[in-house]
Amino acid sequence: MPGKTLRRPISVCDVEGDEIRIVFEIRGEGTAILAASEVGSTINIIAPLGNGFEIDQSKKTIFIGGGIGVPPMLYSARTAGENSVVINGFRDKSAVILTEDFQKIGCRVIETTDNGSYGIHGFVTDPLKEVIADADMICACGPTPMLRNIAKAAKEHHIPCFVSLEQRMACGVGACLGCAVGIRKEDGGLRYKHVCKDGPVFNAEEVDW
């Protein structure tokens, strides 16, 4: 459609056979057009792109999603199975999504809202304090301030933490440089990687927060 040529970066929520499920929030004209698509419509996509979480079913993993960062955690949590804990945070009760989908996996599900209208009143880092000691790994996706605080808690408890970064993207293949993020090198220096091509998942300790 003329004037709507830039692609929208949307993470895969779940996979079943040769079908993928995406869940997104209408935030502008482009996503509004996408939401209005009818059954049978043809949509041009480039997928899959980037990397994902490396799940070890033998490890107890905490999956943390914030807002629209919740959907991409579903497939990862499903892959991990019952040996995991899911913490999802939302703005308020009206923003809560996929609760039943996570419950069907069989893992423990904890939900929070900023205003206390549903679940635990607070942020995802509040219930994280209660379960982090038993975790082998943390995987998270959501707003940068949330990821920064999760990364800090993981470092304090010496637990590996991997984060899926949310950045604005235009091309999806590392050409436009719009989603560059600072990554720390072993010598303490800084280099830049692309969230679309090199990520979106990075080791939280390497990210220049």
pLDDT at 103: 94
User: How distant is the alpha carbon of residue 84 from its chain centre?
Assistant: 16
Residues of the chain with pLDDT under 50: 1
- List own/partner pairs for 22-25 with CB under 8 A and 24 or more apart: 22/71, 23/68, 23/71, 23/97, 23/98, 24/68, 24/71, 25/67, 25/68
**Structural domains in the chain plus CATH codes:** 61-206 (3.40.50.80)
Q: Is it true that the peptide bond before 143 is cis, omega within 30 degrees of 0?
A: no
pLDDT at 3: 56
Query: For residue range 67-88, what is the model confidence (pLDDT) as tens digits?
Result: 999 999 999 999 998 889 999 9
Coil/strand/helix, residue 30: helix
Q: What's the pTM value of the predicted model, to 2 decimals?
A: 0.93
Residue type, 174: G
Token readout for 156 is 């304090």
